[in-house]
Amino acid sequence: MNNLKEKYIKEIRGELKKEMKISNVYMIPNLEKIIVNVGLGEVVNNPQAMKKVAEDLATITSQKPLITKAKKTISNFNIRAGMDIGLKVTLRRDRMWDFFEKLVAIVLPRVKDFRGVSRRSFDGRGNYSLGIKDHTIFLEIDPNKIDKIRSLQVTIVTTAEDDNMGLMLLKKLGMPFSKEEDARMLEKMRESVKKERKQIAKIKAKRAAEGKGIESRRVEK
């Protein structure tokens, strides 16, 4: 069994149950699947690119990719509906866990000047998308044997009900979210609280002043 999957079963799942105050164990968020996409508009002028990228993607994911086709014609880019336009791999079960562990523990830290991933890339339903600009950060790819650096889109699909649950799950699983972004968000929250307190203080002062005015008029009468 994958080390991270074992840790999830033995430790993380219980922690999430407690922190989220979930009574039904089947409601505890989990990884469902990981989708790795590569867009290949270049095949219009370079048909051989499809074969080369398919080999690289299979090497990275340990699974044969499927060819994705254009859904509609885009005349400006010489793309016709039904044309082979990209590659996709959908990982489940052990391969999914192996890929995720490799991604967070080995691949992302290899990104130049890496400072963490953004927490803003959730889709509103607990799923997270991550763009990788250089596929050579995967150790399986030899930079000396590629014809071109290509980008990947990784979508992590979870069973979480919302983004907050998805965030908690991925954090527990080791996704390196940006600490700088966390600090900025915390500072914004503090500023927001300060503004609210000032507004409340102004309202209270205004009401107190109005109360004194009413009282003084009563005394005069």
pLDDT, position 201:
82
The answer to whether residues 30 and 169 touch, using CB atoms and an 8 Å cutoff, is yes
The answer to whether residues 23 and 171 touch, using CB atoms and an 8 Å cutoff, is no
Q: What are the extents of the domains in the chain?
A: 3-177, 178-221
**Element of type H or E holding 39:** strand 31-39
pLDDT, position 39:
82
Q: What is the pLDDT of residues 95-131, one digit of tens each?
A: 999 999 999 999 999 888 888 898 888 999 999 999 9
pLDDT, position 76:
60
Burial of residue 181 (number of CB atoms within 10 Å: 0-12, 13-18, 19+): middle
The residues of the chain scoring below 50 in pLDDT are: none
pLDDT, position 53:
86
Enter the tokens of residue 103: 């991604």
**Element of type H or E holding 68:** strand 66-69
Is domain 3-177 in CATH 3.30.1440.10, yes or no?
yes
Confidence (pTM): 0.76
